[in-house]
Structure 1
């Protein structure tokens, strides 16, 4: 069964979620794990695309937008299904992915923005209702 984790950031800074997604994608890439970063919209995809090239001065994370190469090891997209099964889904969208079962692990990144906390609490409950056992991880 897919492992679900909610990574909870201590602040309400929106950019922190993007940086955390980049760090997680980098770790996945270094271990050869397929990573799909699911964004809320195309604008967030573009912002994350830029950030993955520059978030660390000493190296970048090779990646592609889903429309350019869905087979890349790190892919940025929205609602598309993953090309590689059993990888890592980093969900930055406020909704659950319709493809959750195609991943071995899903990480939801949460910060302290009140509206995001409310959405994520609802998502946590929905995962439970669907038979998953989501875990909370304080960062």
Structure 2
């Protein structure tokens, strides 16, 4: 059963969401945990790919876009991962990942954007209705 946490941002905007996702997968990678960054669109996945190179000076997080077909400690994509080599899911998508039960840990990043916040409430309720107890972590 995965551990599920909703990270609530007080900063609005795409930069805060992407930077938070980058910091989380960087921390996970340094702890030896492989991650999958799930985006809504190919454009968002490409933005995450770029952001992982630039979000922090002198930072290096080995990553690849899922479509590249090559493995990396951090994968970025828009569809389900077909293997169990990435136990952490960082979900930036609006929908509930259909394969969410296969992950050991799920992080949902929520910013104050009205539509994204409402979509996160729906996901929270679905998790809860399926017997999970999602946690919430407020970030500043």
In the TM superposition, 1:4-19 aligns within 5 A as 4-19=4-19
Whether the 8 Å CA contact 1:34–1:84 is kept in 2: the answer is no
What is the alpha-carbon distance in structure 1 between the residues aligned to residue 86 and residue 14 of structure 2?
28
2:135 paired residue number: 135
Q: Give the secondary-structure state (helix, strand or coil) at the position aligned to 2:53.
A: helix
Superposed CA offset, 1:28-81 (max 9, x none)? 111111100000010001111000011111122110011114531100011122
TM-score, structure 1 length as denominator? 0.94
Aligned with 1:59: secondary structure? coil
CA contact (8 A) 2:35 2:75 kept: yes
- 5+ long unaligned stretches in structure 1: none
Q: Give the alignment's Cα RMSD to 1 decimal.
A: 1.3
Other-structure match for 2:98 = 98
1:63 matched to 2:63? The reply is yes
* Bigger mean CA deviation after superposition, 73-82 or 26-35: 73-82
For 1:75 and 1:135, the matched residues in 2 are separated by: 24
Aligned to 2:122: 122
Asked if structure 2 preserves the Cα contact closer than 8 Å seen for 1:64 and 1:76, the reply is yes
TM-score (norm 2): 0.93
How many corresponding residue pairs?
139
Deviation string 1:78-118 (CA, Å, 9 cap, x unpaired) is 11225334611000000011111111000000011111111
SS of the residue corresponding to residue 36 of structure 2 reads: strand
1:85–1:103 contact (8 Å) kept in structure 2: no
Runs of 4+ in 1 over 6 A off after TM superposition: none
Indicate the larger mover: 12-21 or 65-74.
65-74
Structure 1 Cα separation of the partners of residues 125 and 19 of structure 2: 26
